[in-house]
Amino acid sequence: MRFLLVEDNASLAKAILDRLRLDGHVVDHAPDVQSAEDFAATTDYDLILLDIMLPDGDGRTFLKQHRDRQIETPVIVLTARSEVSDRVGVLDLGADDYITKPFDFSELEARCRAVLRRRGGGSSNERRFGNLRFDPMAGTLSVEDQTISLRNKELRLLEVFLSAPDRIFSKAKLVDRLFSYEEDVSENAIEVYVGRLRKHLVGSGVEIATVRGLGYRMSLQ
């Protein structure tokens, strides 16, 4: 999944980035409100982690404007304020959850999973498609009773395809979903990851077809 982290504390931001990227997520980092607005204007995110006190403004203003534009991307607020009124305030502005600093990274990961489950309309992380059973948060893939081991980028590529079966994804779109702005990659990298994923799906009843001139589509055979 692709996350946006809005946090001006460099050491905390690095720790969060390292943890989430270790889980295979693509994470862009905005140290201030203006950068966050620039990122959000050009990229669709699965989740935003938002600090409140930022050097050029208040994260609550960003959140309110985000919701005023009818953007429904889940937002978890990172706040050092523990007063009930502050927590209620950000929830009323449209935050999906909050976590009080300092926090344990395992709790942050759990809150991310919970928010994404709720937005997905289910109580389980697992997704099913044909004979596939996929848990994007745990990073596990099973075909019937066989567990298949995938690398992080392969897992995230499968996650993108399963988010919209039968939809055509262009190479440019897949690059956007799999790589952060810090990573300099070409669309040829997508061909490599699609090729690897296809090999893992042999015998599963699921295929990734090339749609000439447009991109790739996952569907049942």
Encode pLDDT of 99-119 as tens digits.
999 999 999 999 998 998 887
What pLDDT score was predicted for residue 168?
A: 96
Among the listed residues 30, 37, 5, the one whose alpha carbon sits nearest the alpha carbon of residue 18 = 5
Region 178-188: mean pLDDT is 87
What average pLDDT does the chain have? Answer: 90
Pick the range with the lowest mean pLDDT from 96-100, 138-142, 198-202. Answer: 138-142
Give me the pLDDT at residue 116, please. Answer: 87
Categorize the per-residue pLDDT at 186 as very low, low, confident or very high, splitting at 50, 70 and 90.
confident
CATH number of 127-220: 1.10.10.10
Return the number of other C-beta atoms located less than 10 Å from residue 108's C-beta. Answer: 17
Per-residue pLDDT at 121: 60
- Other Cβ atoms closer than 10 A to 153: 18
**pTM for the full model?**
0.82
Band of pLDDT at residue 124, cut at 50, 70 and 90: low
Distance, CA of 126 to CA of 117 (rounded, Å): 9
- Among 98, 203, 78, 59, smallest CA distance to 142 is for 203
pLDDT of residue 33: 96
181's CB contacts (< 8 A; 6+ apart) are 28, 39
Q: Tell the CATH topology of 2-120.
A: Rossmann fold (3.40.50)
- Quickly state the pLDDT bin for 123 (edges 50, 70, 90): low
Contact between 54 and 33 under an 8 Å Cβ cutoff? The reply is yes
Map residue 202 onto helix, strand or coil. coil
Q: What is the mean pLDDT of residues 189-218?
A: 93
The domain ranges of the chain are 2-120, 127-220
Report d(CA 54, CA 22) in Å as an integer.
Answer: 26
More confident residue, 83 or 197: 197
| pLDDT at position 150 | 84
